[in-house]
């Protein structure tokens, strides 16, 4: 019996399985990476929106405190508050965002948001009550603004530092997003595994159909070798390479059968040595 390592069908199946595994893995891994990157981009956008809402609320609180009469400048616009003014005001007096904005930075439920503001001297100017203790800030900026986004444990943070010494961290708990990404990863892995198994089954069926004519040729040749000279290979697909090979073998078997038939007929028609000797032979023997 042919071992699996010597079987053409098994060799085809192994190569097919390896190639299919590479294709499936090459599809699943980048797909998950792209989905995760898109999800992180959405999270960064949400955190940036939280940061802008916090800034606007703090600026409005400082503006109202500095200009309680809601005075307008000569152009008819409300006075603008700079980061330097906000920084100085935070150092001198407590500033609280509006109630609706402050409600965004409360609690520790999954998905909660937090913030913390410090100056160049690393003094805490304002922080939300739910801010983690392990927050780290960017170093004080010298000339250009510094900013980055990072993932720490199960949180996503946006950090900024300005030349005026204003440093802020706004973050959000991303546990629900990571759990959703994990479920997506398992679902995608199961789907890709199912596709791989289905592909293996299809490859096994196709390889079986591919070598079936070879098995038919082998069985027919065995029967002919055992003496059944009238047997021929059943040709179903005459256009394939194996079909053409079957035609050549059938023609060869026909010629061999004809040769055997002629030899058998010749042997049957040849005279035998039985019966009385001829008189001529008897006279020649008597002459000696």
Check residue 225 and give its pLDDT.
77
Domain that holds residue 123: 8-176
Rg over CA atoms, the chain: 45
Residues 134 and 155 in one domain: yes
Q: pLDDT by residue for the chain (288 residues), tens digit each?
A: 555 556 777 777 888 888 888 888 888 888 888 888 899 999 999 999 999 999 889 888 888 887 776 555 555 566 677 777 787 888 888 888 889 999 999 999 999 999 999 988 888 889 999 999 889 999 988 888 899 999 998 999 999 998 888 899 999 999 999 999 899 889 988 988 998 899 888 888 887 777 777 777 778 878 877 777 777 777 666 667 777 777 888 788 788 878 877 887 888 776 655 555 555 544 444 443
Last residue of a domain, one of 176, 204, 223: 176
Residues 252 and 130 in one domain: no
Residues 142 and 164 in one domain: yes
Check residue 254 and give its pLDDT.
81
Residues 172 and 199 in one domain: no
Q: What is the DSSP letter of 78?
A: P
Report the side by side order of strands in the sheet with 124-127: 124-127, 113-118, 167-173, 155-161, 146-152
Check residue 287 and give its pLDDT.
41
How crowded is residue 91: how many other Cβ atoms within 10 Å of its Cβ?
Answer: 12
């Amino acid at each position: 019996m042919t071992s699996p390592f010597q079987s053409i069908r098994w060799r085809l199946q192994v190569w097919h399985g390896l190639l299919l595994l590479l294709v499936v893995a090459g599809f699943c891994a980048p797909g998950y990476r792209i989905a995760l990157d898109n999800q992180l981009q959405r999270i960064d956008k949400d955190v940036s929106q939280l940061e802008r809402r916090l800034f606007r609320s703090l600026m409005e609180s400082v503006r109202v405190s500095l200009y309680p009469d809601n005075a307008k400048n000569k152009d008819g616009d409300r006075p603008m508050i700079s980061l330097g003014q906000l920084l100085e005001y935070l150092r001198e007096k407590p500033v609280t965002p509006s109630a609706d904005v402050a409600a965004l930075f409360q609690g520790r439920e999954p998905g909660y948001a937090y913030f913390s503001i410090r100056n160049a001297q690393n003094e805490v100017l304002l922080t939300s009550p739910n801010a983690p203790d392990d927050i780290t800030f960017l170093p004080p900026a010298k000339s250009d603004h510094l900013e980055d986004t990072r993932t720490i444990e199960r949180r996503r943070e946006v950090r900024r530092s300005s030349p005026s010494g204003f440093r802020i961290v706004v973050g959000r708990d991303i546990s629900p997003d990571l759990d959703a990404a994990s479920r997506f990863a398992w679902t995608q892995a199961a789907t890709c595994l199912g596709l791989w198994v289905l592909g293996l089954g299809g490859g096994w069926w196709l390889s079986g159909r591919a070598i079936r004519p070879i098995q038919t040729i082998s069985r027919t040749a065995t029967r002919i070798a055992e003496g059944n000279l009238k047997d021929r290979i059943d040709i179903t697909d005459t256009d394939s390479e194996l079909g053409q090979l079957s035609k050549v073998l059938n023609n060869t078997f026909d010629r061999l059968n004809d040769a055997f038939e002629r030899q058998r007929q010749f042997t049957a028609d040849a005279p035998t040595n039985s019966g009385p000797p001829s008189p001529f032979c008897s006279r020649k023997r008597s002459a000696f």
